[in-house]
Amino acid sequence: MTPERHRLLVILPAYDESKTVGDVIGAIPKHIEGIDEISVLVVDDGSTDSTVEVARAAGAQVISHGTNLGVGAAMITGLREALDQQVDFAVNIDADGQFNPLDIVTLLRPLLSGEAEFATASRFADRALVPRMPVAKRFGNAVMSWLASSITRRKFYDVSCGFRAYTRESLMRLFLHGRFTYTQEMILALCFAGVRVVEVPIKVRGVREHGRSRVAGNLFAYGVKALGILFSSVRDYRPGLFFNSVAAALFLISLGLTTFFLWHRITTGVFSPHLWAGFSGAFMFWLGVTAFLMGQVAMMLSRQRLLQEEQLYISRKSLLRRGEVGAEPGDRT
C-alpha cells in the first residue's frame, strides 16, 4: 500500500512587494517533517512594480488579479487555489518580511499532531514575544481581540495577525466575503463552524522594513472597516445577540421616558409641558418591539445560512474526493 503523501501550499498575498517577496520565498523551508511536498503561490493583487517577475524568478507560482482588489480578495483566491490543488495543508504569510518563514514549522506543528485544524500566529499570547509597535496599533489589536473573544466566547490574544496555517478540513469549512481584510472574519467564521482553532505564540517584527502597511497604513480607516466586518459577523452568526441587545436598549430608554412622563403627571396633575416624553417613550417601545421581531426573523435566516454552508462543505468534500474542486480564480502564470 502506497503511504499517504502530505502536500503543503504556502500562500503569499502581495501588492507592490518586489523588495521583499523574493527573500521571503527563498527563506521558506524546503523540508518539513511530516510534509512530503512544498509549493509556493504568490497572489499578485494588481502590483505596479516587479513583484510578479521577482516571485517567478524565486520559483513561485503566480496568480494575478490584474487590479488591486484588497488583501481579503487575495486570500480568497489563494485559499480557493489550495482547494483546487487538493493540498493537505496551507499556510499564508505576508510578503513584506514581517514574519520569519522558518516559523512555518512551528505554526504547522499543532496541525500535524492533530491538536487543531487551524493555527494562527499570536504576537501577544506570550508577553516575552510582544513586538515593538505604535501604541495606537497595539490598542486597536487589543480592542479587536476583545470583541472577537466576546463574540465567540473564547479567549483570543491576537485576531489580526496575517500568518496562519490550515488543514484541508478547515479550508473546506471556510467561506469568506470581505475584500478589504480577512483576519477577524476568518477566525469568527471558523469558530462558528466548529473548527478547532489554536493560537501559536510567535515572535514577529512589529513594523515593516519597507514602506507602509497596505491594510493598516491608516489606523482609523482600518479600525472602521474591521469593526464593520465584526459588526456584520455578529449580525450574520449571532443575530439574536445583536437584535436583542438593540431591543433591550430601546426598551430601557422607553422605560426611562415613560417613568419620567408618569412621575410628572402624578406629581403635577398635568401632562404638559412633557407630552414629548410620553410620545417618545411609546415610540421607543414600538422600535424595541420591531427590533425584537426582526431578531426572530434574522435568527431563522441565520439557521438557513448555516445549513447552506454545511451543504457547501459537503459539496466541497464530495468534489475533493472526485478531484473536481473549483474553477479558475485568476490568471495563472
Q: Identify the burial level of 194 via C-beta atoms within 10 angstroms of its C-beta, where 0-12 means exposed, 13-18 middle and 19 or more buried.
A: exposed
How many other C-beta atoms can be found within 10 angstroms of the C-beta atom of residue 106? 15
Confidence of residue 176 (pLDDT cuts 50, 70, 90): confident
Distance CA 241, CA 228 (A): 16
Share of the chain above pLDDT 70, in %: 86
Confidence of residue 322 (pLDDT cuts 50, 70, 90): low
Distance CA 137, CA 142 (A): 9
Distance CA 274, CA 278 (A): 7
Q: Tell me what pLDDT residue 291 has.
A: 92
Q: Record the cell numbers describing residue 231, joined without a space.
A: 459588526
Q: Letter for the amino acid at 249?
A: A
Could you check whether the bond before residue 13 is cis, i.e. omega within 30 degrees of 0?
no
Name residue, grid cell 447552506: 308
CATH superfamily of the domain spanning 7-237: Spore Coat Polysaccharide Biosynthesis Protein SpsA; Chain A (3.90.550.10)
Provide the strand spans (E) within 15-147.
Answer: 37-44, 61-64, 89-92, 118-122
Q: Which of 178, 176, 198 is nearest to 108 (CA)?
A: 198
Q: Letter for the amino acid at 67?
A: T
More confident residue, 50 or 132: 50
Confidence of residue 258 (pLDDT cuts 50, 70, 90): very high
pLDDT digits (tens, 9 = 90+) for 265-302: 899 888 888 899 999 999 999 999 999 999 888 888 77
The answer on pLDDT for 246 being more than 50 is yes
CA torsion, ordered 244, 248, 251, 256, to nearest 10 deg: -170
| CA 145 to mean position of chain CA atoms | 11
Select, from the ranges 51-65, 117-131, 291-305, the one with the highest average predicted confidence (pLDDT): 51-65
Mean confidence (pLDDT) of the chain: 84
Check if the beta carbon of residue 288 is closer than 8 Å to that of residue 250. Answer: yes
Lowest mean pLDDT among 35-39, 95-99, 223-227, 323-327: 323-327
Check if the beta carbon of residue 46 is closer than 8 Å to that of residue 15. Answer: yes
The answer on pLDDT for 329 being more than 50 is no
Q: Record the cell numbers describing residue 152, joined without a space.
A: 465567540
Lowest mean pLDDT among 12-26, 73-87, 228-242, 272-286: 228-242
Q: Record the cell numbers describing residue 25, joined without a space.
A: 520565498
The CA-based angle 97-100-103, given to 5 degrees, is: 150
How many other C-beta atoms can be found within 10 angstroms of the C-beta atom of residue 47? 22
- Helix (H) or strand (E) holding 183, with range, is helix 183-192
The answer on pLDDT for 17 being more than 50 is yes
In the sheet that holds 331-332, the strands lie side by side as 197-201, 118-122, 164-167, 89-92, 7-14, 37-44, 61-64, 331-332
